[in-house]
Amino acid sequence: MSLINKTKEFTIISDVITSKSNIIDIGCSDGSLIEYLKLNNNVVARGMEIDQSKIRTCLSKGISVVEGDADTDLFDYPDNLFDYSILTYTLQATKNPKVVLEQLVRIAGKAIVSFPNFGHWSIAMSLFFNREMPVNSTLDYSWYETPNLHFCTINDFINLCEGLNIKIEKKADLRKSVFKEFKGKSLYDSYFSESGLFLISKK
């Protein structure tokens, strides 16, 4: 799963990250985002990943990576150890997204989070007309085999952040591939964004 496409996602994230900052990519896969950010933003980075072979790929690339799980292993890090924590397309697969979000903004000054928008019009259509769980480019699993546990809409995410006293600083405009100042809920996004990509921090 990726957000629209990887290159686009990487560019948007790279644009918002201050150069030479210290980051952690949770669910870093084969470390390609970290490599991209090392190259373009000169970051000091490390990853967390659950898949053994991907961990070994990271090690061979010289990327520091810890075998771990967003749900249980973020507690190990002290407050504000990182400038940015990054969690792309994983929030919906965590057991406790609320706790994970709190940890993300605890261990880093800012967090970058992306997730599929369950409020997208095509999903609503699929449910409304076909009475079937949606399968599309961002939700590419059938209901019986999906690792996703907690779907949310962009509005749900905004509500949760408010409840957790988390400030949404920026929201990505996926059409223009840029982060923009967050100005509250938008009707357009909630219907037409396949994904949400946010820059958040502790209030």
**In this complex, which beta carbon is closest to other proteins, that of residue 51 or of residue 132?**
51
Q: Which residues bind other proteins (CB under 8 A)?
A: 46, 52, 55-68, 76-78, 81
Q: Rounded distance, CA 172 to CA 40, Å?
A: 19
Q: How far is the CB of 158 from other proteins (least distance, A)?
A: 31
- Regarding beta strands 108-116 and 195-202, do their DSSP bridges make them parallel or antiparallel, or are they unpaired? antiparallel
Q: How far is the CB of 46 from other proteins (least distance, A)?
A: 7
- Find out whether 123 and 132 touch, Cβ atoms under 8 Å: no
**In this complex, which beta carbon is closest to other proteins, that of residue 76 or of residue 140?**
76
Q: How far is the CB of 26 from other proteins (least distance, A)?
A: 13
**In this complex, which beta carbon is closest to other proteins, that of residue 5 or of residue 53?**
53
Q: How far is the CB of 20 from other proteins (least distance, A)?
A: 15
- Regarding beta strands 178-181 and 195-202, do their DSSP bridges make them parallel or antiparallel, or are they unpaired? unpaired
Q: How far is the CB of 52 from other proteins (least distance, A)?
A: 7
CA dist 26 → 68, 86, 104, 180 (Å): 9, 6, 9, 23
**In this complex, which beta carbon is closest to other proteins, that of residue 9 or of residue 30?**
30
**In this complex, which beta carbon is closest to other proteins, that of residue 1 or of residue 65?**
65
Q: Rounded distance, CA 76 to CA 68, Å?
A: 10
Nearest to 106 by CA among 24, 198, 181, 33: 24
| Residue 53 CA to its chain's centroid (Å) | 22
